[in-house]
Amino acid sequence: MKVAVCVKQVPDAAVHKRLDPGTHRLDRSAEGALNATDVNAVEEALRLKEAHGGEVVVVSLGPEKAIESLRKALAMGADRAVLVSDDAAAGSDLLATGYALAKALEREEADLVLFGQQSSDADGAVLWAAVSDRLRRPMVSQVAELTLEGGTVTGKRQTEFGYDVISAPLPAVVAVSDAINEPRYPSLKGIMGAKSKPQDVLGLSDVGIEADRVGEAGSRTVVRSSSPPPPKSGQVKIEDDGSAAERIVDYLAEKRLI
Amino acid sequence: MSVRPADFPPPFSNDEAIGAVTDAPDERIDVGILIVGGGPGGLACAVRLGQLLDEHPETRELLGDVPVAVLEKGKQPGSHLLSGAVMNARAIRRLFGGRIPIEEMPTYGPVHGEAVYLLTKGAALRIPPPPTMMNHGNWIVSVSELGRFLAEQAEAAGVMILPETAGQKLLVEHGRVVGARTGDKGRGRDGEPLSNFEPGVDVTARITVLAEGTAGHLTTAAIDRFGLHGSNPQIWALGVKEVWKVPKPLHRIVHTMGWPLRKRAKYGEFGGSFIYPMGEEHVSIGFVVGLEYADVELSAHDVLQEFKTHRLVRKILAGGERVAWGAKTITEGGLLSLPSKLNAPGLLLVGEGAGLVNVPRLKGVHYAIESGRLAAEAAFAALQRGEVAHRRGALDSYDASLRASYVWKDLAEVRNMRQVFDKGFFMGGALASAMTVTKGKLPPKDFDTHANADAPLIRTGRAAQYPAPDGTLTFDKLSSVFASGNRTRDDQPSHVRVQAKVPRDLAEMWQWMCPAHVYEVGDADGDGTVEVKVTPSNCVQCGAISAKGGRLTPPEGGSGPEYTLT
Amino acid sequence: MAGTLVFLETHDGELTKGGLGVLGKAAALGDAAGVVLGSGVREAAARAGAFGASTVYVVEDDALASPLPQPRVDALEAVVRESGADTVLFAASVLSADVASGLAARLEAGLNWDLTDLRLEGGELVGTRPALGDTVLVEVGWTSTPRLALIRSGTFDPVETGGTAEVKDVVASFQDFSTAATLVDHLQEASSGPSIEEADVIVAGGRGLGAPEGFTICEDLAAALGGAVAATRAVVDAGWYPYAAQVGQTGKTVSPKLYIALGISGAIQHKVGMQGSGTIVAINKDANAPIFDFADLGVVGDLAQIAPKLTELLKARS
């Protein structure tokens, strides 16, 4: 069984994430780590491999140095890494990225494709749904528990209204939430062995991606500008004179929070 | 009766950091040479070994699948590196055999000009730079960036770098060092294994090089185990620094002495500041205070904040924005505090961990690199076919070459400089001048140092002078810890060893001392002692606690700051 | 804007607030039509007229009975084609995010998400999106039609205009792969309340609570508001509350509509885990606590007096 895990590299130092003043996109020059929930996805893939045998390959789109963060997945136990790296792909939006990833995944012909999905709305794009549509495969997202049996994958999907249990036949795409598992630390032997595992860095043409389908040319959205948010207006600070509780209720009611 | 930190030693014995190999043969990892510490010293050693093994493939073959490995406890090389820094380029040029011009290495350019000031609260008196402080021909660097560069060079030379991996125990068998055991990962607050528990591993090696930097965990234990103590105890200073983005470029390096530190001998406040340009857009600004100070309320972090309010500094930082913060101790004892030998069977000590820092010149990076290079050559020689690497004296060539080098000569010249400042700024200044002019021949006797933890504590209401953090020019400790990139996992055992109940004065001293707000005074116990509240996840592993009555040990690999610009 | 469609979700036979809110905004910008997909949803669909829709497209099919995204992509594709709409708006939810993204791929369209505002500028649609933990605002646009947008949950409130909408039925065909995933079971949440990641209201406690018992105050207030309880690193370190409830740099990041901080100083390590919250109310004895710098309503006072009273008043209202 082959499991492909889509991962992305994110800026490492938590401190000074900033937007490039020219492009208004995330300044990725201090890049380093694997996106946190992608690590959960890699862990889930490794557990499936331990239970069912097969191969785990990590797939990513990014600059050449993204290969370093793919090594963490290899150190954890993944077998192979594939990085599609091409200057023409810089500045790809969701549409272009989804297209490029789908092309890279088609090459792999995996039985199961995993994505990591942050539980809180963040910089993460909703890539898995776009990729599933292009691959023409069933998809289950927001999965907090995953089982695989007899060619069917079943996920416990967390929604605003409780849990839905969804089943889909392989080949399928699953996006897992960070609640699904506690990722393992790579062992020292794993870290040392990672460097000698197969790592392919491919260009667009290697994967059959036309240059005009990625990058700015392949994107359908633009970032126009960025600015600091307006300073918080309407901040109120009061001292309790015995009526603070009532004043809080009034405030919440006025803001229609209760 | 005043309290001395030394009277409350930490619940830690160096024996805990030494042990025999316990892993089964198929569990342990065997390498040729193991280097603990991915700083300039360890990485220079690695680079030189890579070069030598490239030139001598027959020796490389003797060393197995992994001829050279470096353990680095930070997220990546550079994450735990912090310094001023103005570096003498001679060692790094020599390391690359002149093949890489200094202009191609990550620096912020050569020193263009230099100014030294004696500060009072309201004024800055420019004084001629003391002869020890002439920096013409030196280069401004970020040691964190330098570490990343050296790591890349080492990897290109075939060295295996293992980040997020702490050296927890020195492996010693039959009186010789046989490697190091790495730290566990995935333990909970009470030491219990969590679901993803990953035990440490015995990494065995023919030769182990300790390049742990200041307050080195295994180094301290090794010096003890092999009886390598020097004539004077080791002493430290604590440096706290920030990197600022500024609209107006600074065109010369600046050092200051005096305010806000106090001159009289009884305060024991020795130190000063540095302000270095980092290109056109940034400056590195830091304050260093010797840890033999006596005042309970002395806080190096807050002294830095206070220092920034001086007119001279405000002008430099005007309109700017703080982009990084960090803290680290500096080994200050100099020649007389060095271990009596820097090698033992199977063991080599390099860099600041060994004590190779020139305090009056504020230099240590090039000594780390040079000693790392010399250690590599000694190790290489000892690994030749026909040699027995761990026999007594096999590595003596390292000590010999170091003593014959400029490293030793420089340290000998200034060997008493630091100690005389025990006598206060003016007396110390006079003696220091005498030393410089005579290149160390005067005064004729060697001065003793007292261990930092021996200084009895006094109170002077010092804290009242610290500025309240305004979030623009001055900052509190917690937001500074955030600015260091520290996001240490909370749910792990505490790596800091201090007594749990101590006199209030001592607990308060720790609270003020620690730049990362790790210690807080807890509940009083009615018998004059208080509980010490420890928040280990704030720790940036500066090492100050080890100098003042506690003991820093390495936390889970990958913890601590993530410096990039310091 | 020529032809805007707004994706409206239903739950228990009713149109959900999120979609109706976006519908109101769309109607304010131009002509807006609602889209309702499901099985047995025509009655609910008609009510969209009262909230700004001039037309409501309905796709009724068994394939849409379960709350799964992929059949909805097929259905929406059919509606877009039939209506000629050039813009499709979604109120963000677990379901709609997947639908929007799948539709983007299907239509080769641009999708901007997590928008907190939408406006027309010289005929162009411009969206506003917070980034980097809400510390920066980015303006985004589209280079072609159709334009797809996911609006951050809770951004717009429904506006009842009392109109009526023309209901148009659309027939869709479904891809094999779209209907391969099936709903096997549904499990309701245990009645212990929402998780902190999902909660609309969070009551968080810090060292100012004084003792572990102080968390009863938080729990009571959270229960009165139907919210979840969170904790700072300091109190979790001290063993007062479980690690799963920790909010902050080394804990969870949350962005509820209402965050009530009791006895929390507001150090940056905590702030970065909750600064994206809609409204922040803080109660703290220390007037200089940093939390007052970014709280919307700051109350300097004794939380042990104020919070229980607040709980009583809230219980009395409902």
pLDDT above 90 covers a percentage of chain C that reads: 79
Give the pair of three-digit tokens for residue C249. Answer: 């740099």
Mean pLDDT throughout A73-98? 92
Query: What residues of chain A, 12 to 41, have a C-beta less than 8 Å from chain B?
Result: 12-16, 30, 32
Cα–Cα distance for residue pair C222/C206, rounded to 1 Å = 15
> B288-326: buried (b, 16+ CB within 10 Å) or exposed (e) per residue?
bbbbbbbbbbbbbbbbbbbbbbbebbeebbeebebbbbb
- To the nearest whole Å, the CA of A219 is away from the closest chain C CA by 7
Mean pLDDT throughout B272-280? 95
- With cut-offs at 50, 70 and 90, classify the pLDDT of residue B128: confident
Contacts of A32 in chain B (CB under 8 A): 75-76
> Residue for token digits 């607030």?
C17
DSSP 8-state class, residue A213: G
CB contact under 8 A, C177 and A93: no
Query: Using omega within 30 degrees of 0 as the cis cutoff, is the peptide bond preceding A171 cis?
Result: yes
The amino acid at B285: I
- With cut-offs at 50, 70 and 90, classify the pLDDT of residue A209: very high
CB contact under 8 A, A225 and C152: no
Kindly report the number of other CB atoms within 10 A of residue A196's CB atom. 9
Picking from C7, C43, C54, the residue whose alpha carbon sits closest to that of residue C166 is C54
Higher pLDDT, C136 or B146: B146
Kindly report the number of other CB atoms within 10 A of residue A41's CB atom. 31
pLDDT at C32: 95
- To the nearest whole Å, the CA of C213 is away from the closest chain B CA by 18
pLDDT at A31: 52
pLDDT at A120: 37
Cα–Cα distance for residue pair C112/C147, rounded to 1 Å = 8
Q: Give chains near C: 3+ CB pairs under 8 A.
A: A, B
Contacts of B76 in chain A (CB under 8 A): 32
Of A19, A133, A221, the CB nearest to C102: A133
- With cut-offs at 50, 70 and 90, classify the pLDDT of residue A119: very low
Whether residue A28 has pLDDT greater than 70: no
**Strands A152-159 and A162-169: what pairing?**
antiparallel
Of A119, A157, A223, the CB nearest to C140: A223
Cα–Cα distance for residue pair B367/B371, rounded to 1 Å = 6
Residues 6+ apart with CB under 8 A from B107: B87, B139, B140, B141
pLDDT in tens, B419-445: 655 555 555 555 665 566 667 665 556
> A54-64: buried (b, 16+ CB within 10 Å) or exposed (e) per residue?
bbbbbbbbbbe
pLDDT at C135: 75
Whether residue B32 has pLDDT greater than 50: yes
DSSP 8-state class, residue B461: -
pLDDT at B392: 83
Mean pLDDT throughout A167-172? 98
Of C237, C246, C268, the CB nearest to B479: C268
CB contact under 8 A, C234 and B535: yes
The amino acid at B322: R
Cα–Cα distance for residue pair B280/A216, rounded to 1 Å = 32
Cα–Cα distance for residue pair A175/A141, rounded to 1 Å = 4
Higher pLDDT, A35 or B286: B286
pLDDT at A179: 85
Mean pLDDT throughout B297-305? 98
3-state secondary structure of A96: helix
Whether residue A21 has pLDDT greater than 60: no
Higher pLDDT, B372 or B6: B372
Q: Scanning every residue of chain A, which has its alpha carbon at the shortest distance from the alpha carbon of C291?
A: A237
Region label for B485, one of left (φ > 0), alpha (ψ between -120 and 50) or beta (otherwise):
left
Whether residue A220 has pLDDT greater than 70: yes
pLDDT in tens, C162-215: 889 999 999 999 999 999 999 999 987 655 667 787 788 999 999 999 999 999
**Strands A112-117 and A172-177: what pairing?**
parallel
**Strands C147-151 and C110-115: what pairing?**
parallel
Average pLDDT of chain B is: 92
Mean pLDDT throughout C244-271? 92
Cα–Cα distance for residue pair C218/B566, rounded to 1 Å = 42
Mean pLDDT throughout B180-206? 96
Bridge partners for B180 per DSSP? B170, B203
CB contact under 8 A, A256 and C110: no
Kindly report the number of other CB atoms within 10 A of residue A105's CB atom. 22
Of C236, C250, C269, the CB nearest to B489: C250
**DSSP string over B127-182:** EPPPGGG--TT-EE--HHHHHHHHHHHHHHTTPEEE-S--EEEEEEETTEEEEEEE
Cα–Cα distance for residue pair B308/B363, rounded to 1 Å = 23
3-state secondary structure of B380: helix
Whether residue A17 has pLDDT greater than 60: no
pLDDT at A26: 57
**Number of A:B CB contacts under 8 A?**
48
pLDDT at C66: 94
How many CA atoms within 13 Å lie on the side-chain side of B222? 37
Of A54-58, B163-167, C273-277, which gets the smallest average pLDDT? C273-277
User: By the 8 A CB rule, do B417 and B359 touch?
Assistant: yes
